Chains A and B, each alone.
Chain A
Amino acid sequence: MTEQNSRGSGPKSIGFLTGDTDDGRNIDTTLGTLSGEAASQATLATKHDVVLHSKAFPYVPSSQSQASPSYYNQPLLKQPVWIWSIPAYFYVGGVAGVGATLGAAAQLMAPKSMRSLVIRSRWVAIIGGVISSGLLIHDLGRPARFLNMLRVFRVSSPMSMGSWILSAFSSAAGAAALAPFGPKLLQPLGEAAGVLAGLFGLGLSGYTGVLISQTAVPVWQESYRTNPILFLASGAAAAGSFFEFFRLNARESHAVERFALMGKFLEFAALLVLQAEARRVSRVARPLEEGFSGFLWRAAKLAIIAGIAVSVLPGKSRAKSVVSGVLGSAASLFVRFGVFYAGKASARDPRASFEQQRQLSGRPR
């Protein structure tokens, strides 16, 4: 065996040639060089288990005579390869982004009476921005190459736009958070950075909705109109809920409560609209109704309703704010993870795509 042994203790190759590689390529390196297009591709150390649908097919899997044929129930699409850190990022980016927007509004409308809200929103923004980058890099197949994200400015790619938005947002939020520690001269710049962070924050919370819309995943693309609305509304509810954990003055907490409450109403409405959109093709809406993603989706609805109920209770207390904050945050997390796992399930169902495209072709759009 040669040093071309990237599979480690994998199965031995056929081995009738002297310099055979042991990495699944079976190339005799005494005769040929490893210089093909895929020669640098690392091979699987362990072969993943294959789901065999086959044992016995109750019917011939593909045929004209079937109303809804498929190829042995094999998925048409590849499942999104993203892991938990992506929906977690949707949430964190939502809190940081819309939080900065609320902070900028307070900075412009009530610079004195809501100063501590303004300062806190800036710190939430910059810390959220840093965590967001961490979550995104964690998901990359080649984390060391994360800077390639800023290699091009590609308008057609929401992920490229998002990378630039996140960079701009974090820079502005960082400048705004640090400005108060700098010389007096810098203060106007800090204020301007605060407003900019508020603007970029809208982009940060909204683009993720566009990001999932621009995929081949049936349930994500069917609701392309509502995704960004749901994500921004969920961001507003989550940011408001997060600020409810802080000890703020009376005016600030009043503003934060209103914001969280209105955000929750909007979030709930968007949730219902998204589901109605998906239901135009029943197969597409399935993951919102069944399985793990369906469970998360129902949990989101319950948590929003419970959160609204707590918010409208009369009286003011610390406990009430905390409970409302917890419910609002949980709801937003359920929304993000629910949408995410619904997408995964949707991509596994070939008939979701087939039925969507068959129905759509007759539908004006």
Chain B
Amino acid sequence: MANGFFTDTTLCIGCKACEVACKQWNQLPDDGYHFTGMSYDNTMALGSSTWRHVSFIERPAPIGDADTGGLAWLMASDVCKHCARAGCLENCPTGAIIRTEFGSVYVQPDVCNGCGYCVSGCPFGVIDRNHEDGRAWKCTLCYDRQKDGMQPACAKACPTASIQFGEINDLRHRARERVDKLHELGVKEAYLYGEDAASQPGTEGLNAFFLLLDKPEVYNLPPHPEVPTHKGKKSWISAGLAAIGVTALAFASVMLGNSARE
């Protein structure tokens, strides 16, 4: 069984209840209070103490064929994607990052030694090391709540069902119906991002996927993310060849040197 999120950004009203619920339930500290001027987004990005982040995009283009005065305000609540092939998990050398019984990707704080390799392994820039704490942190998909049969705090708090929690196949089904519905309503640009392996082969699908209205880049999402392990595998082959080459260099140098006159 794998649980996940379906975040339908067309329903998001930018209330940030998810951000607050996450902070409160997980007892995350605040990040200071900044004013960024980036629309209503003063959170800026996901990080070690920010596990939900609502982005605000002021866009000079209408949604669908609705008359919005040529403007549209897109809002989207971002979160760890709990990738089927998770770069953070595959990079972690200590085994701190595990796949839980709920199909989510979980960092065990009592094991992590803060090497930071997961941070560079995530193609979405999600997980981060807290410099004060020394360990890597990210969304746990409310592992503790799920163990007690509850849904994650953000999904519970979301007043518009923009964040939906559930079994991943069930969510996919719901999401596809929603896209069809939106297309019917004239919002032709609606599409799903990362809903399964076919749509995002690089990660083999996201357990937390999205319904978007614009290019992924607009939401600060990568257009074609790929688990870095693919590159690593091929890189080992180069390393092997180079090792043979350097060995040959070493033997050749010794032979050359040995034949030199004293």
A residues lining the B interface (CB < 8 Å): 7, 23-27, 34-45, 47-48, 50, 52-55, 60-65, 68-72, 74-78, 80-82, 98, 101-102, 104-106, 109-110, 113-114, 139-143, 145-146, 148-149, 151-152, 154, 156-160, 162-163, 198, 202-203, 205-207, 209-211, 213-217, 221, 224-229, 231-233, 235-236, 240, 249-256, 258-259, 262-263, 266, 343, 347, 350, 353-354, 357-358, 360-361
Q: How far is the CA of A221 from the CA of B131 in the complex (A)?
A: 25
A136 closest partner in B (C-beta): B115
Q: Contacts A110-B254, A236-B246 given: A141-B134 contact, CB under 8 Å?
A: yes
Asked if B109 and A40 sit within 8 Å, CB to CB, the answer is yes
Asked if B93 and A157 sit within 8 Å, CB to CB, the answer is yes
Asked if A251 and B113 sit within 8 Å, CB to CB, the answer is no
Question: A residues within 8 A CB of B235?
Answer: 209-210, 213-214, 224-225, 227-228
Q: How far is the CA of A146 from the CA of B41 in the complex (A)?
A: 38
A256 interface neighbour in B117, B220, B253, B261, Cβ under 8 Å: B253
Asked if B114 and A70 sit within 8 Å, CB to CB, the answer is no
Q: Contacts A206-B243, A215-B228 given: A54-B222 contact, CB under 8 Å?
A: no
Asked if A148 and B96 sit within 8 Å, CB to CB, the answer is yes
Residue B2, interface by CB 8 Å: no
B residues lining the A interface (CB < 8 Å): 25-32, 34, 36-38, 41, 44-45, 47-49, 55, 57-61, 87, 90-96, 109, 111-117, 119-137, 140, 142-144, 214-215, 217-226, 228-229, 231-232, 234-236, 238-243, 245-247, 249-258, 260-262
Q: Contacts A60-B58, A71-B55 given: A149-B26 contact, CB under 8 Å?
A: no
> Other CB < 8 Å A-B pairs besides A157-B91, A255-B253, 9 of them?
A43-B132, A60-B58, A77-B123, A109-B255, A141-B115, A158-B91, A211-B117, A216-B123, A250-B262
Q: List 15 A-B contacts (CB under 8 A).
A: A41-B109, A43-B132, A50-B32, A104-B250, A113-B258, A140-B114, A141-B115, A141-B135, A145-B114, A148-B113, A209-B235, A210-B235, A213-B231, A225-B234, A354-B217
